[in-house]
Amino acid sequence: MEETEHRGEIPKLYPANATIDNFFIGGEWDKYLQQVVLPKTESVHPNPKIEQVVVEKHPELEIPLDPGDSCSGKYIYVHDLPTHFNSDILKHCRSLSKWMDMCPFISNMGLGPQLQSSDKVVSNEGWYETNQFVVRMMRDHYSMALIQWIREKPEWKRMWGRDHFMVAGRISWDFRRLTEKDDHWGNKLMVLPESKNMTMMRKIRRRTLFSFAGAPRPNLKNSIRSEIIQQCKSARRKCQLLGCHPSSKKCDDPSNLLKMFQSSIFCLQPPGDSYTRRSTFDSILAGCIPVFFHPGSAYVQYLWHFPKDFTKYSVFIPGDEVKEGKANITRILSRISRRRVVAMREQVVRLIPGIVYADPRSSLETLEDAFDITVDGVLERIDGIRKEMIQGKNLTVSEAEEESNWKKTMFGTIGPHPWDHFFIREREWNPQ
């Protein structure tokens, strides 16, 4: 098969030295992904035993670049998945979740129903009630079948998945079940050996110092939500509280959240069932400065979308200090100067284009949306891996190096860090 210049429609099969990169749909962030060169005969198994790692140079991965083509070396190939993994699932959208009907959320190219705002919190055009879980895939059956299908493709065998990219509809922990019990939460997609090779405005008067939207998590031992709710109540007029209890539907309406965030200077974002919260992005859209209590909520995983210097756009209050009663949120936020607040809010507003997804039926000529930024980051990462493989470098990563990758990325070191205690993870978690 002759090498061709790929413009316009990209063929489904290409030679080993073609000038495009492969991506696969399915994870979230890759700080814990091992980079191990797997033998061609490696089978799909949740706990593989790798006898040895063969390190050799791969000059065939060198990509000839065309100086006259600004996209040379950056073409993207999307696998055409069998309908079993996508459209067939959508036909049964009512069974995607046992808690709610997901069918309305697959409308408008997956953006969901158009958001109607009678009180004009947002404009009535261009905004959608998107459900972040609409494309989730939680069953082990699909995970195993997906990996078995992709590993047999010739595109996979070029770099054994290191040039593949996965996008998931849930946080990465939901795809990293550490037990063999199927009735425990999540599946094992991202702990399979093959997966480890893949990389997954208007002026508003803000009358409230800070706000919090959420509910207590009494069943989570280290949750600080109860302490935050109590501090919010004690702050009286300085804090707005929107209780997101199961019996209340207030938090299901984006207008309620945006309205509160738009009237607040700071928005509290403590961890819940996971480090991250959808509320973080809702508050940024409203121009509200996020307050984090755990570095895993934003700092160590959204490095492509947020500045490394987190003090420019957010406030960090260690959650353990709140838990122990050592941190007074009202006092800490009240002491931040007006000049710094203005500078932080300006930075928050600059983040907005990079955390939203553009309507695929329109185009952003001068701005990059969240997808653009992610693709750019993945291309850069794959290019770095390719160069290391060409040089014959050993890409094996130890467990300790995996766990310390965020320190190397953020601070350039893997030594002891004051944040280490935030990332102690229990081996088993089975929420009821």
Give residue-wise pLDDT tens across range 404-424: 777 877 887 778 888 888 887
pLDDT value at residue 69: 85
Does position 7 have pLDDT exceeding 80, yes or no?
Answer: no
pLDDT value at residue 428: 40
Compute the average pLDDT of residues 30-46.
35
Contact 235, 330 (CB under 8 A): yes
Burial of 61 (0-12, 13-18, 19+ CB in 10 A): middle
Does position 245 have pLDDT exceeding 90, yes or no?
Answer: no
**Which pLDDT band holds residue 215 (cuts at 50, 70, 90)?**
confident
* Residue of 176, 181, 207 lying closest to 191 (CA atoms): 176
Instruction: Choose the weakest-confidence range: 63-72, 270-279, 306-315, 344-353.
Output: 63-72
The reported pTM is: 0.59
pLDDT value at residue 249: 74
CATH of domain 208-355: 3.40.50.2000
Task: List the chain domain ranges.
Answer: 1-96+136-200+362-397, 208-355
pLDDT value at residue 210: 96
**Which pLDDT band holds residue 18 (cuts at 50, 70, 90)?**
very low
CB atoms within 10 A of CB 37: 20
d(CA 38, CA 46): 14
Compute the average pLDDT of residues 338-365.
85
**Which pLDDT band holds residue 166 (cuts at 50, 70, 90)?**
confident
State the average pLDDT for the chain. 76
pLDDT value at residue 413: 78
What would the DSSP string read from start to end of 377-417? HHHHHHHHHHHHHHTT------HHHHHTHHHHHHHS--S--
Does position 283 have pLDDT exceeding 80, yes or no?
Answer: yes
